[in-house]
Structure 1
Amino acid sequence: MRCAECKGRLFCGLPRCPIMSRFHAQVSTAGCGTSYMGTAPSVFVGSYGYPAVSSGPLMTVDPDAPPVWVAQGLSIEEIVGIRARTIRGSAPTVAVTGQIQEIALSSSPLDVEAAFERPVRFDLNFDGTITPVGLSGSIRHLDVIDNARVSRVVDRITSDDDLPATEACEHLGAEGVDVYQIAQLMSAGLLGKRRRVVPTKWAITAVDDTVSKGMKKAIFRFAPVREAEFFAATLYGNTMAVILIPGDWKFEMIEVWGRRSLWAGEEETILSDHEGRKQGRYSPIGGAYYAARLAVAEYLVKKQRSARAIVVRHVNSDYWAPLGSWVIREATRAAMQGTPVKCASLQDAAAQMDTTLGYTHWRERSKLLDEALSQRTLFEF
């Protein structure tokens, strides 16, 4: 993690580091013994050694829901503090399959009793897709005390073992089940014909991708937005700026890591990717691409409109700890839920983007902007 006292170094482990000291203090109050009794709001499936992976509950008395953290206005430090005292239980999947499936099915956290092989250990690691977890322990025995509270739509879809996983995700998304729970269901092996657990990291991106693809099928049938629109919001040092252009569905994302930000040094790091009706490969931007695309697709489905979307993500040094792809998802959702700036032309929308970002060189990476301006000029000619 990044510490102001340590001049911005990542994953500082120095005893004098005040941030690390605070997290260790929180861990000591969380109970680092060999047992746990309390709530388990979600599950975690590892990816190491796939398909012979370890699985288990995430155990914490704190909320394990990014939309709640955002609504409460929690800072990065507060979120990392919550995750630092969260315990990730780990056992061979075959030993805990039934228990993690109950937890994943439930619409509210379940109480569990867990016994560990040895005292849980502090091991706070960061990843660009999944949210960090501070404590981990090998589970010797796990009991789920509560009964799962399962919504009708989740019960119906998970009970249908003739429904392919892709269609199950699309149906759940269309019925209003948020991607956070859908990813839990997929990770716990509750979707599809040939059911198996899926590493949480993979499930998060797969669900963002699959649900937004399902929404694209509807978007193709909608009329285009009437005029160019601009949206923007900033969350935890991530600015998401979006231009919607009248037309059939196309999507482009440009990701800019500013100087001295988390994944950049003295020079900016810029990635870009785009798609038309289909996207045949995994995006080089990674999970952030699918998280942003989902939020834009959600907006268009709600408005029953189609559009060509240019999304620019700018990351500054305020984003000192990677919290997971949910940050991009929630930041883009916040942008799309705001009041759009109606623009008389695409040039006006691009100027709004310039002003918001404080630079214009995103234009050099935008194939969709170039294409839209060229097509407009030819049409007018």
Structure 2
Amino acid sequence: MRKIPAELCVRCKGNKHLCGLSSCPIVERFRTIVNITLKVSAKESIDGSTPPSVVVGESSYPRVSLLFNVPPGVSGEDAREYENPKDWWGKRSIYEILNLRSSMISNVLKTKVDDVWKLYEREISLTTVSENPVLSMSKVNGEIKPSLKFDGYLMPRGPSINSADIKVIENPKLSRLMEKMIFDDVKASEGVIELYKNNHDLYKIINALSMGLLGRKKSRKLVPTRWAITAVDSVVGKDLLSKVREYDSINEVEVYFQQYLGNIFHVILYPSSYRVAWIEIWHPLSLWSNELVISELSENYWGVYDFMDGGYMAARLAVLESLENRKRSAGVIIVREITKDYFAPLGNWHIRETVRRAMQNKIATLDSLSKGIEFVESRLSKGVNLKSLKSVNGILTQRAIDSFLDYQGKH
């Protein structure tokens, strides 16, 4: 979470809003977690429909924790809203998302990563790719752990309790293609691409990969959800890029914009073969920093990038989707500003969804990349000289060389 000085909290006590937030995140989370803890603390089992929602942990690999998430006492379509990133966008605030996530119990089941078919036979894995929420019952033991866990990749997770057994009460509803992919003996990457091309929800594809429902049958294993998210973005992005590289370039410089949950995105497309600069500007008092911090990442024409970054892979996918839809190639600069209003990490889903919507919102067309960069600079909340950044300067320098060589070739 954003670091707020302890002495400020002591003076505020959740009432004076000295940190500048509209309400105290500590009080809000505590209230929600206490309510849900009291609701289930005296029970030996927890009933409810999973939205669906599941997390495969990565610690203690190859014996991992499977977190089966359920809002207690909530069933049917009402449960869907507890994990619904595509429909959350633009409608739910950070507080509302935190409250929804805090209201789910993570039923923790210890399992081996190669127990894929055991989970399949019990239909636990099938619930995670169901088209509808699925009612379940979890026999629990031990005490509930009233905490809210945050992660830069995953959605926040609420209180947890050890589960002795999870029983699926309703039949999961799968698409025909998903059922086919589960039984097909093909590479996991082929299954991911086939589902994506047939308009399957990306988040269900992530669940399918994470729960070991895709891939060669003899080698299927559970995949930690954090890894599965980036893997799906990467696999789909690689397939899209193989097509985008073959298209003609756009003819003008285009600027796109969108913002949500304290994150502001500008995307510049410019006439060029494919290459990308990803720039993150972390405002003072934003999530991870008390001062202005700028990070950069570059990707070349062949899809080779400086380092793996889950947020970048999510944004990259959204831009490649747009280029593929237009049947055009382009050079790309993505600028993400993270303001102090983004006070709690919600996972990288909002990056993917916000950039998707940014690519539907063109705000300017200009006749040079330099003007496009200056235009975006003028709109940034913090004064940042984009041209001074290594990734952007490299693009401008390369374009100058290309133009010179092109001129020499014509004379």
Q: Secondary structure at the match of 1:278?
A: coil
Counterparts of 2:128 and 2:306, CA distance in 1: 27
Structure 1 residue 198 displacement after superposition? 0.5
What CA deviation, in whole Å up to 9, does each residue of 1:317-368 have, x standing for no partner?
Answer: 1111111111211221121121342222212211221122153422222122
**What one-letter code is carried by the residue in structure 2 that aligns with 1:355?**
S
Once residues 282 and 164 of structure 1 are traced to their aligned partners in structure 2, the CA distance between those partners, rounded to angstroms, is 27
List per-residue Cα deviations over 1:231-282 (Å, max 9, x = no partner). 01111111111111122221221111122221122x3222111112334567
**Helix, strand or coil for the counterpart of 1:118?**
strand
- The 2-side partners of 1:268 and 1:377 are apart by 36
SS in structure 2 of the partner of residue 125 of structure 1: coil
> 2:67 aligned with 1:56, yes or no?
yes
3-state SS in 2 of match to 1:222: coil
Q: 1:47 aligns with which of 55, 58, 75?
A: 58
Per the alignment, in what secondary structure is the counterpart of residue 142 of structure 2?
Answer: coil
Residue in 2 that maps onto 1:35:
45
Tell me the residue number matched to 1:122: 146
Q: CA deviation at 1:3?
A: 8.6
1:377 and 1:343, CA in 2 relative to 1: closer, same or farther beyond 3 A? farther
* Distance (whole Å) between structure 1 residues aligned to residue 30 and residue 289 of structure 2: 28
Q: What residue is the counterpart of 1:371 in the other structure?
A: 398
Letter in 2 for 1:350: I
Give the Å deviation of 1:213.
0.8
**8 Å contact from structure 1 (residues 32, 121) kept in 2:** no
Mapped contact 2:3–2:288 kept (Cα < 8 A): no
Q: C-alpha displacement at 1:380, in angstroms?
A: 4.7
Summarize the Cα distance change of 1:25–1:361 in structure 2 as closer, same or farther, 3 Å threshold.
same
Question: Under a length normalisation based on structure 2, what TM-score does the superposition of the two structures give?
Answer: 0.84
Map of 2:362 onto structure 1: 339
State, as a whole percentage, how many aligned pairs show the same letter. 31
Q: Determine the structure 2 residue equivalent to 1:76.
A: 94
Contact conserved, 1:43 with 1:100, CA < 8 A, in 2? no
| Residues 3 and 19, structure 1, Cα contact 8 Å, conserved in 2 | no
The alignment of Structure 1 onto Structure 2 pairs a total of residues equal to: 373
Shift of 1:113: 0.8
How far has the Cα of 1:182 moved from its partner? 1.1
Within 5 A, what are the aligned runs for 1:94-113? 94=112, 97-98=119-120, 99-113=123-137
Taking the aligned partners of 1:247 and 1:102, their CA distance within structure 2 comes to 44
Higher CA-based Rg: 2
Q: Does structure 2 conserve the Cα–Cα contact (< 8 Å) formed by 1:122 and 1:134?
A: yes
Shift of 1:45: 0.5
Change (3 A) 1:282 1:53: farther
Spell out the pairing of 1:1-381 with structure 2 (5 A cutoff).
1-2=1-2, 18-30=24-36, 31-33=39-41, 34-40=44-50, 41-60=52-71, 61=79, 62-71=81-90, 73-94=91-112, 97-98=119-120, 99-161=123-185, 163-193=186-216, 194-265=219-290, 267-280=291-304, 283=307, 286-358=309-381, 359-365=383-389, 366=392, 367-376=394-403, 378-380=405-407
Paired amino acid for 1:78: E
Q: Following the alignment from structure 1 to structure 2, what is the Cα–Cα distance between the partners of residues 373 and 357?
A: 25
Larger mean CA deviation between 142-151 and 272-281 belongs to: 272-281
Shift of 1:130: 0.7
AA of the residue aligned to 2:222? V
Q: RMSD over aligned Cα, in angstroms?
A: 2.4
Q: What residue number does 2:20 align with?
A: none
Gaps of 5+ in 2: 16-22, 72-78
Asked if the contact 1:229/1:349 (under 8 Å) is kept, the reply is yes
CA change 1:260–1:37 in 2 (3 A) is same
Mapped contact 1:188–1:197 kept (Cα < 8 A) = yes
TM-score, normalising length: structure 1: 0.90
Supply the distance in 2 between the matched residues of 1:2 and 1:270 (Cα, whole angstroms). Answer: 17
What is the distance in 2 between the residues matched to 1:160 and 1:146? 25
Q: For residue 257 of structure 1, what is the amino acid of its counterpart?
A: W
